[in-house]
Structure 1
Amino acid sequence: MFTGIITAVGQIKSAQVKGDGLHLVVEVPDGYLDDVALGDSIAIQGACMTATQLTKNSFALDISRESLNKTVGLDKVGAVNLEKALRLNDRLGGHLVSGHVDGVGKVAHFSQVANDAYGSWLLRIEAPKELAPFLAYKGSIVVNGVSLTVNKTEDSLTACIVDINIIPHTLQNTTLGNLKQGDAVNLEVDLIARYVARMLNKL
């Protein structure tokens, strides 16, 4: 389990073919892996992965073709959001996150909010239509591993449009500041909403 609070920005340094998937090596800041052991879970861009090799400043993982087909941003070198698995005594600063990507969305708009003294940005995402029942005003959504609050939803024939306010701190401490219109993003809906929907469908 995770919280969607990014604990570091790492760099995928290599992505080599292994079977039908890839073997990734991710470089991390000094000291980031001090409390990580082989087999521990680390979320990368919101996708839960298992550390299979560790050095002082990097870890390796194997990612399957299924995971590559269901996510974006894990198949090439570049910056990635990282979060280590939640401990039972940790603060839950974001919301309950499983690290299982529910769908890939598209950035429809991303710009600084006009006349906003705090310098916040509006991120508008076109989420897959099938995720619409799980997205609600002031509900939670994970974008590339980051726990965020939904400010507005609007259903279209082909997608659910989601507006999110991004504060400067989030832009400075995650990879979200690199987003641009047209980019694909990993999305995870609220865990509780998913189970509520499942139970209601059984009534």
Structure 2
Amino acid sequence: MFTGIIEEMGEIVAVEARGDSARLSVRGPLVTSDAGHGDSIAVNGVCLTVVEVNGDVFTVDVIKETLERSSLGAQGARVNLERAVRADQRLGGHIVQGHVDGTAVLLSREPGEHWDNLRFSLDGRIARYVAEKGSIAIDGISLTVTTVDDDSFGVSLIPTTLRLTNLGGRAVGERVNIEVDVIAKYVERLVSAG
């Protein structure tokens, strides 16, 4: 489990295609400082298992399902990194599983005096889980939904988020990973079982 509070920005330094999967090597000095084989690290919101650590680079295997549902896979990409939360830590963002529900496209970006307002496309399959003032993870970042309609939603980024995550540099037209609030999915499941 993760909190959506990004610890550092890293970089995908190598991509090795393996048929229906890939092996990624990711540079992240902070997250590798105590990482070992089998640990979980969220890379742009995707929970991945560490296969190997070599200095400040960790290696992960990514299966076809993950490649199809996420925007991972580009060498040189700047990525948000977060280690799994420990049981004795504060939950600063919201419950983020690292199980990406799909991707969205950045539709617009409006700079404010001290923040930016971003608008993203909203896939109809997950629209019912997105609510104004609710939580959403974009590239692993815990954010609050500011507006929502049938086919898009908005968030506002404070200076810290602009400076310390890859959303600060995302351009209109780029794809991002989306994870909706897991609590909404469980509520729907319980109500429909009724």
Q: Does 1:169 align with 2:160?
A: yes
**Whole-angstrom CA distance in 2 between matches of 1:11 and 1:72:** 14
Match of 2:139 among 140, 144, 156: 144
Which residue identity does 1:186 align to in structure 2?
N
Instruction: Give deviations 1:138-175, integer Å, cap 9, x for gaps.
Output: 100000010000011111xxx2x111010111011011
Unaligned residue ranges in structure 1 (runs of 5+): none
Q: Match of 2:103?
A: 104
Corresponding position of 2:148: 153
2: CA distance, partners of 1:40 / 1:64: 17
Three-state SS of the structure 1 residue aligned to 2:68 is helix
Residue identity matched to 2:48: M
- Counterpart-to-counterpart distance in 2, 1:173 and 1:84: 16
**Counterparts of 1:144 and 1:4, CA distance in 2:** 9
Aligned residues: 194
**Cα RMSD (Å) of the superposition?**
1.2
CA contact (8 A) 1:44 1:80 kept: yes
Residue deviations 1:50-102, cap 9 Å, x none?
00011221100111111101100334322110000011111100000100000
CA deviations on 1:89-122 (whole Å, 9 max, x unpaired) are 1110000010000011111111202xx3xx1100
Matched residue, 2:11: 11
Contact 2:31 2:82 in 1 (8 A): no
The answer as to 2:129 corresponding to 1:124 is no
Q: Which among 154, 179, 184 is matched to residue 193 of structure 1?
A: 184
Gaps of 5+ in 2: none
1:8-87 alignment to 2 at 5 Å?
Answer: 8-29=8-29, 31-87=30-86
Structure 2: how far apart are the matches of 1:32 and 1:141?
A: 23
Q: Which amino acid aligns with 2:9?
A: V
User: Do 2:31 and 2:81's aligned partners in 1 also have CA atoms closer than 8 Å?
Assistant: no
C-alpha distance after superposition, 1:122-145 (max 9, x if no partner): 010111011111111110000001
Normalising by structure 1, report the TM-score. 0.92
Contact kept, 8 Å, 1:110 with 1:179, in 2: the verdict is no
CA distance in 2 between partners of 1:179 and 1:190 (Å): 23
1: CA distance, partners of 2:173 / 2:126: 19
Tell me the TM-score normalized by structure 2: 0.96
Q: Structure 1 residue runs of 4+, over 6 Å off?
A: none
